[in-house]
Amino acid sequence: MEVDSIFGPDSRLVYKHYATLYFIFVFDSSENELAMLDLIQVFVETLDKCFRNVCELDIVFNYNKLHSILDEIISGGQVLETSSTEIMRAVEEISKCSLPPSLPHVYFYCPWLQ
């Protein structure tokens, strides 16, 4: 689908429908449509591994995790990783480093704050 009027010249749009979710990627003419469909497939597989049958509420309430997954797949317009297992491993490592929201009373030792 060409979308020159909205996103500029040489822009293309590819989408895929999974259950109640639509995933839409916009890219330029230098990319292959089938490669973009494959990238959407990797993204959805990773979301399914992360959320177990991903739905709208998973995306709405876990927007940061969704961005972490997408950052592990794509950075600076370049595809970095296409293995959903490796992507999940990296996202789990990132999650270990963050403070759980249910424990706001826990403090970490930061020597530069003394």
Residue boundaries of the structural domains of the chain: 4-113
Show Cβ contacts of residue 98 under 8 Å, excluding neighbours closer than 6 positions.
Answer: none
Does the structure show a pLDDT above 80 at 1? no
Give the Cα separation of 99 and 95 in Å (integer). 8
- C-alpha angle 86/92/97, rounded to 5°? 135
- The domain defined by 4-113 folds into Beta-Lactamase (3.30.450)
Q: Kindly indicate the confidence band of residue 2, based on its pLDDT and cuts at 50, 70 and 90.
A: low
Q: What is the mean pLDDT of residues 48-63?
A: 89
Q: What is the pLDDT of residues 81-99, one digit of tens each?
A: 888 888 888 888 887 776 5
What pTM was estimated for this model as a whole? Answer: 0.75
